[in-house]
Amino acid sequence: MTTITDVTVHDVRFPTAASGDGSDAINRGDYSATYVELSTDDGPTGAGFTFTNGRGNEITCAAVRALQHHLVARTVEEIAAEPVAFWRTLVADVQLRWLGPEKGVIHMATGALVNAVWDLRAKLAGQPMWRYLAELPTDELVASVDFRHITDALTADEAAAILDKGRDGLAGRLALLERDGFPSYTTSVGWLGYPDDKVRALTRAAYTDGWRAMKMKVGGPPADDLRRARIIRDEIGPDALLMMDANQVWDVDEAITNMTALAEVDPYWIEEPTHADDVLGHARIARAVTELTGGRCRVATGEVAANKVIFKQLLQAEAIGVMQIDACRVGGVDEVLAELLLAAKFGVPVCPHAGGVGLCEYVQHLAVFDFLRVGTSLTGRMVEYVDHLHEHFVDPVRTRGGRYLLPTAPGYSATMRPESIATYRFPDGPAWR
């Protein structure tokens, strides 16, 4: 038995705002982590985090402290034996639920804690998270999903059937990933704060390095968006994929108008074209964009979708052609499982949201597990890649020729280097003094 003896939370912030890295139509942040460590009596330390954009990270840290009593003195084995019961202690705490429910700061704090438990489980099993998940029996995976509020779209029996079917051909799919890595796209070329010559130089360098799918930010003045898009299309040629991300800045009609102009450069998807909660708005934009491009462009969203209920509605409304789960905005691995299964049921590919700090480290495991056991296809699947801040992790992502290589270290790749925590701890670390 391994008992969780203590929960420590660190407010870690990296001063990224000044460089324009990560800048888009809405955000210009100091990439930050609400970083959680689970101490145990005789085992490894579990690591988890949620990502924030700088100011306010202290609020997520406070939310972790409000929830942490649900973990202390629990054993990993009893949590693993009844995962939904454990998950509900966090998301359905009779007092704290009022602060969500299952959305915003309190749910992000839940994600940090739940992910830390899964990191601990995988470390105790001596396996990288993707392999640990892929090898779990179907009944254990199904038992990790809280089906409350989604049974109208996905039942436990349907989930079990998807996961059982996912065993067929698994060894062949794994061999493919071991040989080639997991497909990826880069967001590093087109942040909104970058001047044109920097966009062109970064695009050319990324193409030379093997990337054949790139994402740019849009949502500035429409003429600027089109000019920058033409630069990237000019550099990558007609065959590589060009994705666009508006980070929710447009109204529904404005999104349709702007995509009518941007269709000229053959975008593969438009991401977050309007407010993240506007399921019906996304559906309308999806219909318009499909008509406009003959189905060549689709709507993508999900990086700030708060929970599985929103994803259920986006799928039911046929509002998305690409689903972009975020590993730590939702309530950790248990809820991601529900979302991957929903996507499989509805036949929509998942391209996880990454970037920020540590998100690439997390989502590589989820994408690999999805391919091995749930979605079982690489068609339309890519993991986002952003080349920032990996050096702060003990087990950073590795890419080759525009593809993620399989992680091999036990756990969820979430463990930060102690010296990085010490240097970037806010407000008293040397980087902030």
Residues in touch with Mg ion (CB under 5 A): 245, 303
To the nearest whole angstrom, how small is the minimum distance from the Cβ of residue 276 to Mg ion? 10
Q: Which two tokens stand for residue 376?
A: 């079982």
Cβ closest to Mg ion, residue 10 vs residue 228 = 228
To the nearest whole angstrom, how small is the minimum distance from the Cβ of residue 247 to Mg ion? 6
Tokens 């309308």 belong to 284
To the nearest whole angstrom, how small is the minimum distance from the Cβ of residue 53 to Mg ion? 12
- Return the exposure string of 27-64: e unless at least 16 CB atoms fall within 10 Å of the residue's CB, then b: ebbbbbbbbbbbebeebbbbbbbbbbbbeebebbbebb
Q: Please, how many CA atoms are within 13 Å of residue 224, restricted to the half-sphere of its CB?
A: 15
Cβ closest to Mg ion, residue 93 vs residue 245 = 245
User: In the annotation, is 353 catalytic?
Assistant: yes
Say if CB 25 and CB 246 are below 8 A apart.
Answer: yes
Count of other CB atoms within 10 angstroms of residue 77:
12
To the nearest whole angstrom, how small is the minimum distance from the Cβ of residue 246 to Mg ion? 9
- Say whether 184 sits in a helix, a strand or coil: strand
Cβ closest to Mg ion, residue 27 vs residue 89 = 27
- Return the exposure string of 125-153: e unless at least 16 CB atoms fall within 10 Å of the residue's CB, then b: eebbbbbbbbebebeebbbbbbbeebeeb
Amino acid in position 342:
L
Options 70, 107, 353, 365, the catalytic residue: 353
To the nearest whole angstrom, how small is the minimum distance from the Cβ of residue 272 to Mg ion? 6
To the nearest whole angstrom, how small is the minimum distance from the Cβ of residue 366 to Mg ion? 17
Cβ closest to Mg ion, residue 119 vs residue 245 = 245
CA nearest neighbour of 53 among 105, 7, 96: 105
To the nearest whole angstrom, how small is the minimum distance from the Cβ of residue 404 to Mg ion? 18
Options 70, 123, 215, 217, the catalytic residue: 217
Outline where 222-352 has alpha helix (H): 222-236, 252-262, 279-293, 308-316, 333-346
- Angle between helices 222-236 and 252-262 in degrees, nearest 10: 40
- Measured CA to CA, the distance from residue 218 to residue 124 in angstroms comes to 44
Cβ closest to Mg ion, residue 48 vs residue 356 = 356
Cβ closest to Mg ion, residue 122 vs residue 300 = 300
Say if CB 311 and CB 339 are below 8 A apart.
Answer: yes
Q: What's CA 420's distance to the chain center, in Å?
A: 22
Cβ closest to Mg ion, residue 11 vs residue 245 = 245
Cβ closest to Mg ion, residue 245 vs residue 370 = 245
To the nearest whole angstrom, how small is the minimum distance from the Cβ of residue 245 to Mg ion? 4
User: In the annotation, is 217 catalytic?
Assistant: yes
To the nearest whole angstrom, how small is the minimum distance from the Cβ of residue 6 to Mg ion? 35
Residue in the shown chain whose Cβ atom is closest to Mg ion: 245
Cβ closest to Mg ion, residue 248 vs residue 420 = 248
Tokens 């804690």 belong to 113
Instruction: Look up residue 172 and give its DSSP letter.
Output: H
Instruction: Look up residue 19 and give its DSSP letter.
Output: G
CA nearest neighbour of 49 among 35, 38, 37, 59: 35
- Return the exposure string of 344-358: e unless at least 16 CB atoms fall within 10 Å of the residue's CB, then b: bbbebbbbbbbbbbb
The residues, any chain, with a CB within 8 Å of residue 300's CB and separated by 6 or more, are 243, 269, 270, 271, 272, 320, 321, 322, 323, 324, 351
Residues designated catalytic = 217, 353
